[in-house]
Amino acid sequence: MRKPTERSSPWLAASGCIASVLVALIVQASPTRLVDGLTIMPTWTLMAIFLWAGVRPQFMPPVAVFAIGLTQDLLTGAPMGVWALSYLVAISVFRFRGEDGMPRDLPPVLLRFGATLLLAHGIAFAAGSFALEQMADLQPLIIEIIASILMFPLPAYLVLRRRRSRGSGFIGG
Amino acid sequence: MASRRSTRQDAEHGVRFSRTLFIALLVVSGALIAFDRPASRSAPFAGFRATFTDVAAPLLDLAAQPLRGIKNIGPYWRRQGELAEENARLRQQLIEARYWEDLAYRQRDRIEVYEDALDVESAAIEDRIGAWTVADPRGPFVRARLIGRGSEAGIRDGYPVINLYGLVGRVYETGRRSARVLLLTDLNSRVPVMADRSNARAILVGDNSEFPRLDYVGRAPDIRPGDRIVSSGDDGILPRGLPVGEAVATRDGGWRVRLYSDQAPVDFVWVWPYERVTPPDQEVEPEQPPTLGTGDDAGTGIDEDVDDAPAGAADDTGGASATEEAP
């Protein structure tokens, strides 16, 4: 019988992590307004960071979180450092600690993500307002938060289901 | 204890969460936010951003392809039952459009005569640079679009960007193969405009809402709801007369503009290579052949140059100055 650690290649998991973050970043910056009715997107990037930091913490060290935030700043045209700072602080504060990492039940994960989301957007609002030298627009932030809270249960459920089926603490490990 | 503080393992299967690194990254983030302010962005930062968007633009363009394929799927689906009616309406509009087309050709010919007479040159339509939108971030900090053409196609900072219906914004960050367009709705957008009917001037100020505000309109502005708002060209950056939108009165007595460019998704745009009007004090003096006068006269002022110039040129200059002095 194969050990849990042998069930999936870490390279495969790393590829999945990079691919999911890249897709999240591109979707975040893509011209969604071309499609009728879709204007503001949820923060897919934060979802990807949060979930990977929960299931594979070694893939999401502070440098990676910072780099992802900075890439989002550059792709979206925001002042550099705004999302980098907010993701870095929010993930550092609310990441899952302990041997088991992210719990296998959905409600605590949703609760933790909600807190991460609020902190990240709060910091982004403050930092963005500072960079712009005027109050940033609060409405898109609020819509983003609501959209993210509505959308997050689906990827979170899929990730937790995969974790439970593997019986291992970490995806691919 | 010390090692536990410096490199906390957190029992996370080997993930190192160095406090020193974390603080260093916080400092770097703070420094980036402080130095990359849109209002006072330095050339190296702007260059770095432009290079990054150059690299990212092809990837974003690729990602935008499927979205372009399904664009307007919502309205199309809703209008399935109205296609016949719409077809009849479009035929009627086509008949009317032919009349306007004839009129436009005649006006173009007339304008060419006027431009020749006044020695004025305006950018021809075919000079405009077409570009696809490859990214459309609509976040809380910036309302901008990334387009897939850059300085290699002749795009420069400040060029106006239009779509089929009107002014969209202006280019504010140019890479080699990509450029970022600041939309009229962005917080940092300020465009001098005027009412087409009355020439009443105002500044169109973006505030991240769908309807940008008209500021500096005066106490009793000659603006009416529905007035066509066009660019006034007062800043010398945008050409005069670009259609912007319709004036809309607000409840508090102010004015906003319903943008024409919002009539359709901004997926394909034209960049207008409009060269800004240089103020006289910033003009680069063309190299002049050495004058026949004494060395003391050279470069002392316009009057001296006019005196030295041939008779025909002196007449022209004199005419211009006479016009300037007229009340």
Chain B nearest CA to A145, separation (Å):
12
Burial class, A129, CB count within 10 angstroms (exposed 0-12 / middle 13-18 / buried 19+) = middle
pLDDT for the residue B114:
87
pLDDT at B8: 47
pLDDT (0 to 100) of residue B138: 66
Residue B304 has pLDDT above 50, yes or no: no
Q: What is the pLDDT of residue B137?
A: 65
Please tell me the predicted confidence (pLDDT) of residue B245. Answer: 93
* Range ranked top by mean pLDDT from A76-90, B36-50, B137-151, B265-279: A76-90
pLDDT tens for each residue of B21-79: 889 999 999 999 988 887 777 888 888 888 888 888 888 878 777 766 655 555 556 66
Phi, psi torsion values for A74, nearest 5 degrees:
-70, -40
The more confidently predicted of residues B208 and B315 is: B208
Q: In chain A, what are the domain boundaries?
A: 9-30+37-166
Best-predicted range by mean pLDDT (A29-38, B115-124, B270-279): B270-279
Count how many pairs of residues, chain A against chain B, have C-beta atoms within 8 Å.
Answer: 189
**Range with the lowest mean pLDDT among A113-127, B37-51, B197-211, B309-323?**
B309-323
How far is B193 from A16, CA to CA, in rounded Å? 50
Nearest to residue B212, comparing CAs of A137, A36, A82, A141?
A137
Tell me whether residue B38 is in a domain.
no
- The number of distinct structural domains making up chain B is 1
User: Is B229 part of any domain?
Assistant: yes
Question: Is pLDDT at B317 greater than 80 in this prediction?
Answer: no
- Of A10-14, A145-149, B190-194, B261-265, where does mean pLDDT reach its minimum? B261-265
Taking a C-beta distance cutoff of 8 angstroms, is the pair A20, A48 a contact? yes
Q: Do A74 and B16 touch (CB under 8 A)?
A: no
Nearest to B37 among A63, A99, A133 (CB): A133
Mean pLDDT of A154-163: 88
Q: Average pLDDT, whole number, for chain B?
A: 76
Per-residue tokens: A30? 């893509």
Neighbours of A76 (CB within 10 A): 23
Q: What is the DSSP string of B183-207?
A: ETTSTT-EEEEEETTT--EEEEE--
In this predicted structure, what is the pLDDT of residue B74?
57
Asked whether the beta carbons of A74 and B52 are under 8 A apart, the reply is: yes
Q: Which domain holds residue B230?
A: 122-271
For residue A150, pLDDT beyond 70: yes
In the structure, what pLDDT confidence band is assigned to residue A39 with cuts at 50, 70 and 90?
A: low
Is the pLDDT score of B314 beyond 80?
A: no
Nearest CB neighbour to B134, from listed A31, A124, A141: A31
Domain A9-30+37-166 has CATH 1.10.12: no
Cα–Cα distances in angstroms (integers) from residue A100 to residues A104, B70, B108, B118, in the given order: 9, 43, 74, 80
pLDDT of res. A153: 93
Test A81 with B45 for CB contact under 8 angstroms.
no
Q: Which CATH number characterizes residue B267's domain?
A: 2.40.10.340
For residue B266, is it within any domain? yes
In a domain, B18, yes or no: no
Q: Does the distance separating the beta carbons of A131 and B71 come in below 8 Å?
A: no
Query: Rounded distance, CA B296 to CA A134, Å?
Result: 54
Whether A31 sits inside 8 A of B25 (CB atoms) is no
CA of B321 vs chain A CAs: smallest distance (Å): 44
Residue B103 lies in a domain: no
Say whether residue A84 is in contact with chain B using an 8 A CB cutoff: yes
Measured CA to CA in angstroms, residue B107 lies from B53, B103, B115, B233 at distances of 41, 6, 12, 21
